[in-house]
Structure 1
Amino acid sequence: MKSLKRTRDITPLPSRNFKITVDDQPVEACEGETVLSVLLAANYARVMENDRNVASGAYCGMGVCHCCQVKINAKHKQRACQTLVEPQMSVETLTNRFKEEGIKHD
């Protein structure tokens, strides 16, 4: 399986890095990074699908706006900007709990 390439890092990753899975693709991460910083480095612009099936991305990047919610380790609506990466972490972007559970949200 091909890894997602990080193309938007400002500085090189330290040598002590590990992989997380983003949308079934491995991507490099390192201790201390947030899920959002990994997503942005891997060029993910749209990370969340809201309850109205509209894709959006991070806005504030500090936990206030809730626009970067993703599914982390099978838990919906986790803030990517507030969650530190861990080895073997699984992240799913553009997920929607209502759609997955067949709940209509009008």
Structure 2
Amino acid sequence: MFQRLPDRTESSVSFTFNGTRTTACSGDSVAAALLAAGHCITRRSPVSGAARAPYCMMGVCFECLVKIDGQANRQACLITVEEGMRVETQDGAAVVGQQA
């Protein structure tokens, strides 16, 4: 669905999403990196379990909540992807500051 511009020359960084090695451009937000890699689901609703995905990409809607390096409730659209980062889908509600 989402594709990178063909003339981008940024360096790349490697991170994992749900245990799968994924590559992103340096400077990408976690949400942008996930969408560019074809990972559209970032969390599941705590009420119905429905799949949710990044929506506003500016930190207003909270649809992009993920676990990053074991810390839940992180907004993927506001965090820059880093080398070796461990990102996981957040299933349902998580306690603030909860470590996985």
The question of a shared fold, defined as TM-score above 0.5 by the shorter chain, is answered with yes
| 1:16 alignment counterpart | 11
For normalisation by structure 2, the TM-score amounts to 0.80
Sort the Cα spacing of 1:12 and 1:87 in 2 relative to 1 into closer, same or farther, 3 A. farther
Q: Does 1:65 align with 2:55?
A: no
- Quick one: distance in 2 between partners of 1:26 and 1:14? 21
Give the C-alpha shift of residue 40 in structure 1.
0.5
> For each residue in 1:8-43, what CA deviation from the matched residue of structure 2 results, as whole angstroms up to 9, or x when unmatched?
222455352121001101111232110001110011
Percentage identity across aligned positions?
Answer: 30
Q: Residues 12 and 93 (structure 1 numbering): CA distance in 2 closer, same or farther, change over 3 Å?
A: farther
| C-alpha distance in structure 1 between counterparts of 2:56 and 2:65, whole Å | 12
Higher Cα Rg, which structure: 1
Q: Unpaired runs of 5+ in structure 2? A: none
Change (3 A) 1:10 1:93: farther
- Residue 37 of structure 2 aligns with an amino acid whose one-letter code is A
Residue 30 of structure 2 corresponds to: 35
| Corresponding residue pairs, total | 93
CA contact (8 A) 1:20 1:90 kept: yes
Q: Which runs of 5+ in 1 are unaligned?
A: 1-6, 102-106
Q: Please, what is the CA RMSD of the aligned residues?
A: 2.1
The Cα offsets for residues 50-87 of structure 1, whole Å up to 9 and x where unpaired, read as 22222111121110000000111101110010010111
Q: Per the alignment, do residues 20 and 96 of structure 1 end up closer, same or farther by CA in structure 2, a change over 3 Å counting?
A: same
